[in-house]
């Protein structure tokens, strides 16, 4: 296959002390040759990161686009050393031999059957998961035993999460080939999650998918810098620390994603919606739906005969707890999709590229197959980002193709609580110039 390239290789040049050249490559695997008046040093990939650290220490002026993940993962470097007349300094020039495939190139190679829709399957999955939510919620209201009630309300929260994943596919217009069904199916699946489709379409479909991992455009867990952290209030820092704990990740999604960017949008975000009127109508409809659920629990719950306090407790258990479970599941899934020691984030559009963000910046989390099926294949996330038109039931075939053809770029991670704890510990702040993750104390962790 002929590969189109996104840009010519990048390069940088600096003047360094002549005696520094031998120390730069000492102990590294280097191939040297003379070309005209230049000494050309080719460094093995395995030593790339070490060389770059030495270059930084020697004062080499690396542009940010040549640091961090680009250096560490699978790229080589060639140094061109030119002796100057003064003999005291040398001109060191380096090229980044990285030609990324463009979007058309990647899409042309994908299996054509990926957009073969199975309408009956898509509709059945969506309606079945919504029915499971209805049954779980209804039973949680009806049963009186605390243990059974807690188990059913937890199941209710999980059902909201699975229904939302499928509704999210419908909101992309990818669940079936019927646009009307997709539109109303998304509405149905988004009801229990209290997500207005209009703002989700803007924030997720148009911003997150179009500008993945680009701060200022993609708001989904965009990492803070050391400067951002220093500007936070004491309360904000405490809250941020809670976000990066296993129990607290649900608050991360609830506050920083759902409330700030799905429900209560600021003025700059509101003007970007396809229809502010539709968004307002959706908020009214969701509020009415929530009030109806509260009335149902209050008047027909198993604890309603015990007075006011048991009724309030039942509201918390049947509505608040499942909603937090759903937010926790959403955070559990989505944080791991784009937060990883190897993922790179950008804050300059000129450095961002489709290939680095969608193919190299989206993680395939590997769970037991039964878990992946339970979450409708959404963990095959690289495939979903490369072409969001691919229905969830076709994602595995696309993921296999991407890992076969771009295996050095696609991040594949075996899922575990140990890995998630590691991510939450190491990937807290980000240095956009060095392209490296840090902890809250500003120490580099990658």
Domain of 89: which CATH number? 2.20.25
Confidence of residue 50 (pLDDT cuts 50, 70, 90): confident
Regarding whether 369 and 356 lie in a shared domain, the answer is: yes
Measure the N-to-C terminal CA separation of the chain; round to a whole number of Å: 34
Q: Write down the pLDDT at residue 101.
A: 74
Regarding whether 232 and 163 lie in a shared domain, the answer is: yes
Q: How far is CA 365 from CA 114, 375, 393, 430, in A?
A: 20, 12, 17, 22
Residue pair 111/118 in contact (Cβ under 8 Å)? The answer is: no
Regarding whether 141 and 156 lie in a shared domain, the answer is: yes
Q: Write down the pLDDT at residue 304.
A: 80
Q: Write down the pLDDT at residue 73.
A: 34
DSSP 8-state class, residue 232: S
Confidence of residue 89 (pLDDT cuts 50, 70, 90): low
User: Is a pLDDT exceeding 80 seen at residue 141?
Assistant: yes
Regarding whether 208 and 153 lie in a shared domain, the answer is: yes
Q: Write down the pLDDT at residue 157.
A: 98
Q: Write down the pLDDT at residue 6.
A: 39
Which residues are 13's β-sheet partners? 93
Domain span holding position 177:
104-438
Q: How far is CA 233 from CA 156, 238, 251, 264, 381, in A?
A: 36, 9, 18, 21, 35
Regarding whether 154 and 30 lie in a shared domain, the answer is: no
The mean pLDDT of 304-332, rounded to a whole number, is 94
Higher pLDDT, 201 or 76: 201
Q: pLDDT tens, 329-356?
A: 999 999 999 999 999 999 988 778 888 8
Higher pLDDT, 50 or 210: 210
User: Is a pLDDT exceeding 80 seen at residue 199?
Assistant: yes
Residue that is last in its domain, among 99, 127, 142: 99
Confidence of residue 156 (pLDDT cuts 50, 70, 90): very high
Q: Write down the pLDDT at residue 7.
A: 39
Q: Write down the pLDDT at residue 356.
A: 85
Residue that is last in its domain, among 99, 133, 162: 99
Secondary structure of 368-394 in the HEC alphabet?
CHHHHHHCCCCCCHHHHHHCCCCCHHH
CA atoms of 162 and 258, how far apart (whole Å):
17
Q: pLDDT tens, 214-249?
A: 999 999 999 999 999 999 999 999 999 999 999 999
Residue pair 118/391 in contact (Cβ under 8 Å)? The answer is: yes
76 located within any domain: yes
Q: Write down the pLDDT at residue 305.
A: 76
Q: Write down the pLDDT at residue 93.
A: 62
Regarding whether 123 and 86 lie in a shared domain, the answer is: no
Of 24-33, 113-122, 358-367, 383-392, least confident by mean pLDDT is 24-33
Q: Write down the pLDDT at residue 100.
A: 65
Contacts of residue 394, defined as CB under 8 A and 6 or more positions apart, other chains included, come to 113, 114, 115, 116
Regarding whether 142 and 86 lie in a shared domain, the answer is: no
The mean pLDDT of 272-292, rounded to a whole number, is 96
Regarding whether 351 and 251 lie in a shared domain, the answer is: yes
User: Is a pLDDT exceeding 80 seen at residue 306?
Assistant: no
- What is the distance of C-alpha 38 from the center of its chain? 44
User: Residue ranges of the alpha helices (H) in 29-145?
Assistant: 48-58, 69-72, 103-109, 119-142
User: Is a pLDDT exceeding 80 seen at residue 179?
Assistant: yes
Q: pLDDT tens, 374-394?
A: 999 999 999 999 999 999 999
User: Is a pLDDT exceeding 50 seen at residue 94?
Assistant: yes
Higher pLDDT, 308 or 43: 308
* Own/partner pairs, 296-301, CB within 8 angstroms, 24+ separation: 296/141, 297/141, 300/141, 301/141
Q: Residue holding tokens 């040049």?
A: 13
Regarding whether 110 and 67 lie in a shared domain, the answer is: no
Residue that is last in its domain, among 46, 70, 99: 99
The mean pLDDT of 406-423, rounded to a whole number, is 93
CA atoms of 298 and 334, how far apart (whole Å):
33
5 located within any domain: no
Higher pLDDT, 421 or 302: 421
Mean pLDDT value across the chain? 87
Higher pLDDT, 208 or 37: 208
The mean pLDDT of 4-31, rounded to a whole number, is 64
Percent of the chain surpassing pLDDT 70: 84
Q: pLDDT tens, 53-86?
A: 777 677 665 544 443 333 333 334 556 666 555 5
Q: pLDDT tens, 98-138?
A: 456 777 788 889 999 999 999 999 999 999 999 999 999 99
Look up residue 279 and give its two tokens.
């968004």
Regarding whether 151 and 74 lie in a shared domain, the answer is: no
19 located within any domain: yes
Q: Write down the pLDDT at residue 85.
A: 53
Q: Are strands 89-96 and 77-83 parallel, antiparallel or unpaired?
A: antiparallel
232 located within any domain: yes
Regarding whether 236 and 282 lie in a shared domain, the answer is: yes
CA atoms of 230 and 35, how far apart (whole Å):
49
Regarding whether 149 and 31 lie in a shared domain, the answer is: no
Q: Are strands 411-414 and 363-366 parallel, antiparallel or unpaired?
A: parallel
């Amino acid at each position: 296959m002929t590969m189109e390239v996104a840009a010519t290789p990048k390069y940088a040049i600096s003047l360094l002390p002549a005696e520094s050249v031998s120390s730069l490559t000492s102990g590294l695997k280097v191939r040297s040759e003379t070309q005209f008046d230049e000494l050309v040093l080719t460094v093995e990939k395995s030593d790339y990161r070490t060389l770059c650290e030495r270059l930084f220490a020697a004062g080499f002026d690396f542009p940010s686009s040549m640091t961090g993940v680009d250096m560490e993962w699978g790229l080589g470097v060639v140094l061109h050393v030119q002796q100057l007349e003064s003999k005291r300094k040398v001109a060191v020039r380096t090229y980044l031999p990285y030609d990324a495939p463009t979007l058309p190139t990647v899409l042309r190679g994908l299996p054509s059957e990926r957009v073969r829709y199975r309408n009956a399957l898509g509709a059945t999955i969506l309606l079945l998961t919504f029915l499971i939510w209805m049954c779980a919620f209804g039973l949680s209201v009806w049963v009186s035993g605390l243990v059974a009630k807690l188990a059913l309300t937890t199941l209710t929260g999980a059902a909201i999460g699975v229904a939302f994943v499928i509704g999210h596919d419908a909101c992309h217009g990818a669940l079936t080939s019927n646009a009307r069904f997709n539109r109303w199916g998304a509405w149905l699946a988004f009801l229990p999650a209290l997500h207005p489709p209009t703002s989700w379409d803007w924030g997720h479909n148009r911003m997150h998918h179009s500008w993945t991992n680009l701060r200022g455009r993609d708001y989904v867990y965009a990492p803070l810098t050391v400067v951002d952290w220093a500007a936070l209030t004491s309360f904000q820092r405490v809250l941020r620390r809670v976000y990066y704990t296993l129990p607290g990740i649900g608050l991360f999604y609830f506050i920083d994603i759902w409330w700030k960017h799905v429900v209560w949008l600021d003025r700059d975000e509101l003007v970007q919606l396809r229809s502010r009127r539709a968004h307002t109508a959706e908020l009214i409809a969701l509020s009415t739906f929530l009030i109806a659920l509260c009335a149902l629990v209050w008047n027909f719950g198993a604890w309603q005969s015990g007075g006011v306090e048991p009724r309030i407790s039942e509201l918390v258990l049947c509505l608040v707890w499942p909603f937090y479970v759903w937010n926790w599941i959403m955070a559990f899934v989505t944080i791991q999709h784009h937060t990883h020691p190897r993922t790179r984030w950008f804050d300059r559009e000129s450095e961002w590229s489709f290939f680095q963000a969608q193919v190299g910046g989206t993680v395939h989390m590997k769970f037991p197959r039964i878990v992946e099926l339970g979450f409708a294949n959404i963990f095959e996330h690289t495939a979903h980002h490369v072409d969001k038109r691919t229905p969830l039931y076709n994602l595995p075939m696309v993921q296999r193709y991407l890992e076969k053809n771009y295996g050095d770029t696609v991040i594949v991670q075996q899922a575990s609580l140990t890995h998630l704890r590691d991510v939450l510990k190491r990937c807290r702040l980000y240095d956009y110039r060095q392209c490296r993750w840090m902890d809250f104390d500003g120490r580099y962790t990658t």
